[in-house]
């Protein structure tokens, strides 16, 4: 391609891509992934193509895709100049977070993975994690080192918690991992890698970070290991990882053996991921120790692959800033030669690390948008920060920026934010957000509707306009264990959401046949109801504090017997908001009834207690049909009953006693075995309209009373 520069073509370099668009013909590009991403960009202003998270959009005006695989010719409407140029500035366009493997991908089959990889290609992703199937390789390695199967089983977690087992945070919990899981995931990884590579992507494989099972101590009694501290309210029964000393010869033996076996199994594209100190303090702040750790990690890679490049999450630097002072950060990063590591500035839209580390002290980095924690539902975005951030990083003195990335912990939410971030990789300066959102609304629904366009502008200036601390982001009282001390402040004017809700309902006559529109209507109605739950919580709290039993019963009754059941019905009307779908996917992965029960427990625990005792309670909360009614509503019912009893008997309300009682209900939900519908039921438009007619007047009165 004459547009390629000396560093290579579009998948790997910052080059000028020329895409020839022919009526009835293909989009031509040097690398499939880049060419596929260029098509949505080029057609975005004309043919109005958009590529959302898989499974939502049904109509793509201006582009007709034949019913076959992604590498076939595209048929374009003749709305674009015959020759158009697009500059792709960053070398890498990265995707995924280590945690996404558990919060979103854990139960996926091949058809779902294939849709995701196609979405990645359409959005220009050329660098992505490929962690599936590694447990089978680790099993092989540890057995060859003399561990027995029971020692491996003791170490590995259940499927829904493997992300934290891989980073050394967690062991044992919700396991053991069935051998059938390893085999199925191994074969799934073959297909994932083949698909990624066929589309010009670089799959990032896992590498050894230094954590080992307890069984290694028995097999090698003289091995030099130390035990890290506990993690996130787990005790040492499930955390406190054993970390090999970087100077121990077994560090390289284990790390190199694993990577050689991994490469033999899957091949390699020479980029590997490892995180030694994810949310865990190192044993020493001595720079010599820290540089020794990073040197040992890379050495174990290069012994297996001389061309190895280390991709490391930079989350640790912003997560524990008191420990990671300049000397410590510099030591860890400079323990490897410059250019042999790429750092993911994981939360750069909110807490960029490159600014306080002199651009990671010379190591290349990727500016990432994290955006989502735990796969929570909730309308949210830092659109202005996202729009400016990558360009500020590019202009930073002596910048070592080599790419941009999407790094959410959970996906399938807030499509607009991800589409913006994906598109920015093809621009040289920030976009006009108001104009971009207007175009987005038209692309999303395949036609221009003034009410829908106005609704999205209101959402842009409110929920998607967080520019400071995003107060109570995804921590609505709706999805938290009730107490009298819950915060309800927000960073935006709630009335904007209520008005957007009204406008979308007004657009339903024209757009209601679109599944994407109905999804958005559910999501905005859900956000409005989430705000209303906070309002009724405040009424409950105020009634209790003023000792008004009637007002307490009134507000509590509306919440328990109307608002939450209505929300559950609304969510149950859309396939993307079903608890039953999540649980069915988990059970479908099993090869026996025993495995199905284990996977069901994993799936339920992750979205509720997150641990045996609510260790990371509600961190991965979801607003799903079935979960609202049988989990969140049950907790609220007990809370209101406890407050009523307190007023009736004149005894104080004790939060700790309530916590103990509600824990039994929470735990009971995980083990109740109830099966939930995996297919939607009910008419989304009718349910949303019914909720609106009942609650909109109340919502607007309260919304105007208190803006952000």
pLDDT value at residue 701: 74
- What's the start-to-end Cα distance of the chain, in Å? 52
SS3 76: strand
Least confident of 579-593, 621-635, 686-700: 686-700
Q: Is residue 445, in this structure, part of any structural domain at all?
A: no
Overall average pLDDT of the 193-211 stretch: 98
Do 342 and 383 form a contact (C-beta atoms < 8 A)?
A: no
Q: Is residue 1, in this structure, part of any structural domain at all?
A: no
Do 403 and 526 belong to one domain?
no
Dist. CA 465–CA 473, nearest whole Å: 12
Phi, psi of 75, rounded to the nearest 5 degrees: -110, 115
**What does the DSSP assignment read for 194-223?**
HHHHHTT-EEEEE---SEE-THHHHHSTT-
Q: Is residue 216, in this structure, part of any structural domain at all?
A: yes
Beta strands in 360-417 (DSSP E): 365-369, 401-406
Decide: residue 398, CB within 10 A, 0-12 exposed, 13-18 middle, 19+ buried.
exposed
Nearest alpha carbon to residue 292 among 260, 251, 255, 258 = 251
Does the structure show a pLDDT above 50 at 456? yes
Per-residue model confidence as pLDDT tens digits over 503-558: 999 999 999 999 999 999 999 999 999 999 999 999 999 999 999 999 999 999 99
pLDDT band at 302 (very low <50, low <70, confident <90, very high): very high
Give the residue from 88, 106, 124 where a domain finishes.
88
Does the structure show a pLDDT above 90 at 214? yes
Q: How many Cα atoms sit within 13 Å of 200 on the Cβ side?
A: 25
SS3 62: coil
Least confident of 35-44, 368-377, 593-602: 35-44
**Token match 């958005």: residue?**
520
pLDDT band at 629 (very low <50, low <70, confident <90, very high): very high
Do 482 and 607 belong to one domain?
yes
Overall average pLDDT of the 439-452 stretch: 97
Q: Residue 154 is encoded by which pair of tokens?
A: 């003791």
Number of neighbouring beta carbons within 10 Å of residue 177: 23
Overall average pLDDT of the 29-50 stretch: 44
pLDDT value at residue 56: 52
Angle, alpha carbons 580-586-590 (nearest 5°): 135
Do 277 and 225 belong to one domain?
yes
pLDDT value at residue 79: 41
Q: Is residue 136, in this structure, part of any structural domain at all?
A: yes
Do 45 and 136 belong to one domain?
no
Do 135 and 58 belong to one domain?
no
Q: Is residue 10, in this structure, part of any structural domain at all?
A: no
Q: CATH code at 187? A: 3.20.20.80
Do 677 and 463 form a contact (C-beta atoms < 8 A)?
A: no
32 vs 446: which has the higher pLDDT: 446
Per-residue model confidence as pLDDT tens digits over 61-104: 444 333 333 332 232 333 434 444 444 567 999 999 999 999 99
Give the residue from 55, 88, 121 where a domain finishes.
88
Sign of CA dihedral 560, 561, 562, 568: positive
Dist. CA 405–CA 412, nearest whole Å: 16
SS3 18: strand
Do 96 and 54 belong to one domain?
no
Do 263 and 411 belong to one domain?
yes
213 vs 697: which has the higher pLDDT: 213
Do 124 and 260 belong to one domain?
yes
Q: Cis check for the bond before 501: say yes or no (omega within 30 of 0).
A: no
pLDDT band at 39 (very low <50, low <70, confident <90, very high): low
Do 355 and 484 belong to one domain?
no
DSSP state of 369: E
Q: Cis check for the bond before 13: say yes or no (omega within 30 of 0).
A: no
Do 234 and 368 belong to one domain?
yes
Overall average pLDDT of the 158-187 stretch: 98
39's enclosing H/E stretch is helix 32-44
Kindly state the percentage of the chain with pLDDT values over 90: 84
The pLDDT mean for the chain works out to: 89
**Token match 């307190």: residue?**
646
Overall average pLDDT of the 299-312 stretch: 99
Give the residue from 41, 65, 88 where a domain finishes.
88
Angle, alpha carbons 52-447-570 (nearest 5°): 60
What is the DSSP pairing of strand 75-76 with strand 92-95? unpaired
SS3 387: helix
DSSP state of 658: H
pLDDT value at residue 397: 97
Do 181 and 207 belong to one domain?
yes
Q: Is residue 433, in this structure, part of any structural domain at all?
A: no
Residue 174, domain extent: 92-427
Nearest alpha carbon to residue 628 among 526, 517, 510 = 526
Q: Is residue 351, in this structure, part of any structural domain at all?
A: yes
**Token match 């109307």: residue?**
562
Tell me the pTM: 0.90
What is the total count of domains within the chain? 3
pLDDT band at 472 (very low <50, low <70, confident <90, very high): confident
Beta strands in 236-275 (DSSP E): 242-244, 271-273
pLDDT value at residue 5: 35
Do 109 and 239 belong to one domain?
yes
Does the structure show a pLDDT above 90 at 145? yes
Per-residue model confidence as pLDDT tens digits over 92-136: 999 999 999 999 999 999 999 999 999 999 999 999 999 999 999
SS3 367: strand
Beta bridge partners of 94: 127, 405
Does the structure show a pLDDT above 90 at 454? yes
Q: CATH code at 517? A: 1.20.120.670
Do 578 and 680 form a contact (C-beta atoms < 8 A)?
A: yes
Q: Is residue 300, in this structure, part of any structural domain at all?
A: yes
Number of neighbouring beta carbons within 10 Å of residue 675: 11
Do 176 and 209 form a contact (C-beta atoms < 8 A)?
A: no
Decide: residue 581, CB within 10 A, 0-12 exposed, 13-18 middle, 19+ buried.
buried
Does the structure show a pLDDT above 90 at 311? yes
Angle, alpha carbons 289-294-296 (nearest 5°): 90
DSSP state of 178: P
Sign of CA dihedral 521, 524, 527, 528: negative
Q: How far is CA 264 from CA 236, 257, 258, 260, 430, in A?
A: 35, 11, 10, 6, 44
Dist. CA 193–CA 118, nearest whole Å: 13
395's enclosing H/E stretch is helix 383-395
Number of neighbouring beta carbons within 10 Å of residue 622: 23
Alpha-carbon dihedral 694, 698, 700, 703, rounded to 10 degrees: -130
Beta strands in 221-308 (DSSP E): 225-227, 242-244, 271-273
């Amino acid at each position: 391609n004459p547009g390629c520069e000396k560093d290579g073509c579009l998948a790997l370099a910052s080059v000028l891509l020329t895409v020839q668009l022919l009526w009835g013909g293909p989009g031509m590009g040097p690398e499939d992934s880049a060419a596929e991403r260029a098509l949505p960009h080029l057609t975005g202003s004309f043919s109005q193509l958009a590529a959302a998270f898989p499974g939502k959009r049904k109509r793509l005006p201006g582009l007709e895709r034949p019913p076959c695989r992604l590498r076939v010719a595209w048929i374009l409407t003749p709305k674009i100049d015959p020759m158009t140029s697009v500059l792709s500035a960053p070398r890498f366009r990265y995707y995924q977070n280590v945690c996404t493997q558990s919060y979103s991908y854990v139960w996926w089959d091949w058809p779902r993975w294939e849709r995701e990889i196609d979405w990645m290609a359409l959005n220009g992703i050329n660098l992505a994690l490929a962690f599936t199937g590694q447990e089978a390789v680790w099993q092989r390695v540890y057995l060859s080192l003399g561990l027995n199967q029971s020692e491996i089983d003791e170490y590995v977690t259940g499927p829904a918690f493997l992300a934290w087992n891989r980073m050394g945070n967690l062991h044992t919990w919700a396991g053991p991992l069935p051998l059938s899981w390893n085999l199925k995931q191994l074969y799934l990884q073959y297909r994932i890698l083949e698909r990624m590579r066929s589309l010009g992507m670089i799959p990032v494989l896992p590498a050894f970070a230094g954590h080992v099972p307890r069984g290694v101590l028995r097999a090698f009694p003289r091995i030099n290991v130390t035990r890290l501290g506990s993690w996130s309210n787990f005790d040492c029964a499930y955390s406190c990882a054993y970390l090999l000393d970087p100077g121990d010869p077994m560090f390289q033996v284990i790390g190199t053996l694993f990577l050689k076996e991994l490469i033999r199994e899957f091949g390699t594209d020479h980029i590997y991921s490892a995180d030694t100190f994810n949310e865990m303090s190192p044993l020493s702040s001595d720079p010599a120790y820290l540089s020794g750790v990073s040197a040992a990690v890379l050495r174990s890679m290069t012994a297996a692959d001389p061309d190895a490049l280390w991709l490391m999450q930079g989350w640790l630097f912003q997560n524990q800033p008191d420990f990671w002072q300049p000397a410590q950060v510099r030591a860890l990063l400079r323990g490897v030669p410059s250019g042999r590591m790429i750092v993911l500035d994981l939360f750069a839209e909110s807490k960029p690390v490159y600014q306080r580390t002199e651009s990671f002290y010379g190591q290349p980095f990727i500016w990432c948008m994290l955006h989502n924690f735990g796969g929570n539902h909730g309308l949210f975005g830092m659109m202005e920060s996202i729009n400016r951030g990558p360009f500020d990083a590019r202009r930073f003195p002596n910048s070592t920026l080599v790419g941009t990335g999407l790094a959410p912990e959970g996906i399938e939410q807030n499509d607009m934010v991800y589409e913006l971030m994906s598109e920015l990789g093809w621009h040289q300066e920030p976009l006009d957000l108001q104009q971009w959102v207007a175009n987005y609304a038209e692309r999303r629904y395949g036609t221009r509707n003034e009410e829908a366009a106005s609704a999205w502008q209101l959402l842009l200036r409110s929920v998607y306009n967080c520019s400071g601390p995003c107060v109570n982001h995804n921590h609505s009282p709706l999805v938290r264990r009730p107490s009298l001390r819950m915060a309800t402040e927000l960073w935006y004017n709630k009335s904007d959401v209520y008005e957007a809700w009204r406008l979308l309902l007004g657009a339903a006559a024209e757009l209601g046949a679109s599944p994407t529109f109905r999804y958005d209507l559910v999501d905005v109605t859900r956000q409005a109801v989430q705000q209303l739950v906070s309002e009724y919580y405040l009424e409950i709290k105020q009634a209790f504090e003023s000792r008004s039993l009637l007002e307490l019963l009134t507000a509590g009754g509306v919440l328990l017997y109307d608002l939450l059941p209505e929300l559950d019905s609304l969510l149950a009307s859309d396939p993307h908001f079903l608890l039953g779908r999540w649980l069915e996917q988990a059970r479908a992965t099993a090869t026996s009834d025993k495995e199905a029960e284990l996977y069901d427990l994993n799936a339920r625990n992750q979205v509720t207690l997150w641990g045996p005792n609510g260790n990371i309670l509600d961190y991965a909360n979801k607003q799903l049909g079935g979960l609202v009614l049988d989990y969140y509503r049950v907790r609220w019912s007990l809370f209101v009953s406890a407050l009523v009893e307190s007023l009736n008997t004149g005894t104080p309300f004790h939060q700790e006693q309530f916590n103990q009682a509600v824990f039994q209900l929470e735990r009971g939900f995980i083990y109740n075995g109830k099966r939930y519908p995996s297919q939607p039921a009910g008419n989304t438009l009718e349910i949303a309209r019914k909720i609106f007619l009942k609650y909109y007047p109340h919502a607007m009165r309260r919304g105007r009373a208190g803006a952000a």
